[in-house]
Amino acid sequence: MRPVRILIVDDHEAVRRSIRSHLSARVEWSVCGEAADGLEAVEKARKLRPDLVLMDVAMPRMDGVQATKIIRREVPEAEVVLISQNDPTAGRIQAIEIGACDFISKGDLSRDLLSIIDKIVGHRDLKTPSDRNGRVPGAPESVSTVEDPDLKRQNGGGMNGHIHNEPWCGLLDHAAPRDHIVQLYQDEQFLSRAVCRFAVSAINHGEGVILVPTAAHWNALRPRLEAEGVDVKAAQACGQLTVVDADQLLPNFMRNAMPDSPLFLGLAGETIAKARGGDRFTKVRWWGEMVNVLWERGDVAASMGLEDLFHKLAHDHEIAIFCSFLMDNFDGDVHARMLPRLGQNHSHLIPVEDYARLERAVAASLREAVGPVEAGVLEQQLLTRYTGPLDMPRSQAMLLALRDVLPVVANTVLQRSGNLYAAEARG
């Protein structure tokens, strides 16, 4: 069964990123490319031959209406779903008029996107196996297996077959400049898998990568990187991989129990410049746990102050930053206090390892707390109105939205969700 190949078209990167996050919940779907305007969408559709195009309407150079007409004429096998802020009734009429198969309001993406794609896939024969050469029957040979080079890294880029399908993997694979991703973990194996995914993808894509672990975590990460096919010694020798001890670096910029901004930004800037190697590695990623070292010491103000500086670093130096906190996602204080604070200086949240299991746990807990009918109504109303502080799984957004509206119910649902999530893991 071949994956459903999806082209995302929107002139705002934040919207494209949000759509990618929603789509990552389905391993049988693959984002084959992205476009930022109608002209680019037409070019990508001709080249990539997607099964489905998610098309914004209002865009520069060429709008989504004109682009859809061209794509439906030149790439007839590609279905198109219009996405805009327009009134849903008017949007569906417009979709019918130009040959699109459906319409989604941007305000309803989190609620409707997956179900609409399911409906489209169910009505089409997208499961035809490729021929012996890997070519999709009916598609021109020159474009049948093409994937957008900018997104090829999403698939793991040759990690010697050790490819995991957790939804957060795609996010770490294609971490972009100015992304600031935060992971909550309690399982050391989850930490190692995520960090190695981030680092190996960078190396496979010709990017520089900076790792700032504690000595104990580096001793665990190094053999895992080597198992994924990374020659650690060679990567360090050529400058593509920079490893700095977190406990040794931290005191160099701490003053009066707080990070000193000029000292930190100066030291970090020098490290990034060295990692770029005179423009040999124009893209650089940074993962570290100095903020977690401070957090585990109980220095919350210093930890968050350092995260604010990392956020500035990501924007000033155009790098992707990934950090990991030893935090329990099902702890009430974490939800009430820390997640809103993390939303001030991060772009994405990885709250747990298994998003599907979290979805099941939250749904079951909500049904138990308010009843099955009320749960469905409440979920729809909350997610329609809720704007999260950072990009996160739908079920995680539901927990935070519930806390804003019904804090007493939220505590019950959060605790029950944690119990169900853990119980399913134990089998």
- What's the rounded Cα separation, in Å, for the pair 207 and 192? 20
The pLDDT of residue 165 is 62
Q: Where are the alpha helices (DSSP H) in 228-352?
A: 232-237, 246-249, 261-276, 290-297, 300-317, 332-333, 339-342
The pLDDT of residue 2 is 66
**HSE-up of 296 (CA within 13 Å, CB side)?**
13
Contacts (Cβ under 8 Å, ≥6 apart) of 384:
107, 108, 111
Q: How much is the pTM?
A: 0.63
Contacts (Cβ under 8 Å, ≥6 apart) of 88:
103, 105, 108
Q: Which helix (H) or strand (E) holds 370?
A: helix 355-370
- What's the rounded Cα separation, in Å, for the pair 248 and 287? 16
The torsion angles phi and psi of 318, rounded to 5 degrees, stand at 55, 55
Catalogue the E-assigned strands of 75-168: 79-84, 102-105
Q: Is the dihedral of CA 152, 128, 110, 63 positive or negative?
A: positive
Q: What is the largest CA-CA distance in the chain?
A: 68
What is the block-wise mean pLDDT of the chain (427 residues), using blocks of 10 residues? 85 87 83 91 91 92 89 91 83 85 87 87 48 32 42 40 63 92 94 95 93 95 90 93 96 96 97 90 95 95 96 96 96 92 94 93 92 84 79 91 88 94 86
- What's the rounded Cα separation, in Å, for the pair 62 and 128? 33
The pLDDT of residue 1 is 53
